[in-house]
Structure 1
């Protein structure tokens, strides 16, 4: 009688392969930390994409409990992303510059998954595609996301399904365009806050999500300023100057615009 071999922890998590993916290009002590942190960021971005797609489907299904639960999980992940900056900031400018030249043109600026997160949240722009070769998988997937409804688009349809009169133009807009403020949508959102407390909770969690991403952007900017100052970014961007331009631009401008009217 043969016994089937039981699955081990290492086999389930593919640890042999995973732990071989950290391969520093120098003998500098801090390069391993730099690699681990950025690989973990990419794993969290993968989970964020998984959660945001699920959130979009929950909105499409009118499933408020799962939408709220998914928003809570995504917000917790964002807090973890911010917390990881504290670890990265234990690396001094001297230690980073000791191996920075090894990175050549590679940069977090090229993170395909973070761009995909932005696109899913409605921050779409064709200029982001230029960072990836024409025939690359990354560019193809981003082009696909450009044509799909964002989380915010799905949210507006969710409100309509819950009896809120959302302007037809907002429901029928081209999903490839970035989200922009719409006074008619803002009037619909005011109705939500005043008459639909359960859906108003969803609105507030979306504001939390927007704020959470802005918080991560801010910590990222300060970490870059602290590490390389005004030097250009390793991927050819202007470094901290470029990152500062991404600050304080809301993903969901309508949800911020109504604050003074509540």
Structure 2
């Protein structure tokens, strides 16, 4: 009779008493006990895990965006490009997650929707932080976090820093003359598109061999926003499929609110210049 395979025969560690194990390193006991359901319905577990894993991916996106911005400020473009490419792939993962959630029918969701109370993804402070980091800076969106002074402080600290696009425009200004009102604007306010910025980016695209780092930076930003737009679109489609045009649990218009978000451009000149080429 063949002896069953034993990984220990090839040196695998099999005893972890008092030693670092996989579950210890990843804090799996805490992580896997964080799925507290509020009803006895089957699909609530799917709903909770979908949103918890999305928050974990957003946690990584913030980590990467923070480092990418710092590298761009320090002039280390190569390192920043790798991180921006990773963030785009993170949002590819987030897009795929909607496919799983869409297996939940309206009947499945209705069975536990009341248990959500007023909670809503609209209140995700990490999503808000990502939007602020990218330049979509609407101070009205601080209000859903007013009950948490620590979160308001976190988001206000982000508003005090230049967004990723502000940093990209400052890099652009090293090769092209841009208005002082753009380069040294109040970064806590929403960004307004500038014809001078668009003209400069257009020149980058007309002569990429001369402005290769700026060209690659622009394409990394567009690549990321492409996935970000898809994520928003998938969000709208999923919500409409599951609840139709009901109001969201957080009080928003639901689909109508999400559709309005589809019109938000993070890096407007990088999209508009394509018409001019």
Deviation at 1:160, TM superposition (A): 3.2
Q: 1:244 aligns with which of 259, 264, 271?
A: 259
Inter-partner Cα distance in structure 2 for 1:98 and 1:10: 34
- SS of the residue 1:174 aligns to: coil
Give the total of aligned pairs: 259
Inter-partner Cα distance in structure 1 for 2:252 and 2:61: 25
Equivalent residue runs for 1:131-170 within 5 Å: 131-133=144-146, 136-161=149-174, 163-170=175-182
Match of 2:191 in 1: 179
Find out whether 1:232 has 2:247 as its counterpart: yes
Q: After superposition, what is the alpha-carbon deviation per residue over 1:146-167, rounded to whole angstroms, capped at 9, x for unaligned?
A: 1211001111222334x33333
Deviation at 1:190, TM superposition (A): 2.0
Gaps of 5+ in 2: 1-15
Please tell me whether the aligned partners of residues 24 and 32 of structure 1 are also in contact (alpha carbons under 8 angstroms): yes
- SS of the residue 1:209 aligns to: helix
- SS of the residue 1:245 aligns to: helix
Match of 2:73 in 1: 60
Match of 1:45 in 2: 58
TM-score w.r.t. structure 1 length? 0.95
Match of 2:203 in 1: 191
Shift in CA distance, 109/189, structure 1 to aligned 2, threshold 3 Å: same
Inter-partner Cα distance in structure 1 for 2:141 and 2:221: 24
TM-score w.r.t. structure 2 length? 0.90
Q: After superposition, what is the alpha-carbon deviation per residue over 1:168-219, rounded to whole angstroms, capped at 9, x for unaligned?
A: 2211000011122100111221232223123201101111112211110000
Find out whether 1:223 has 2:238 as its counterpart: yes
Match of 1:12 in 2: 25
Gaps of 5+ in 1: none
Match of 1:88 in 2: 101
Deviation at 1:39, TM superposition (A): 0.2
Shift in CA distance, 229/77, structure 1 to aligned 2, threshold 3 Å: same
Larger gyration radius, structure 1 or structure 2: 2
- What's the Cα RMSD here? 1.5
Deviation at 1:43, TM superposition (A): 0.5
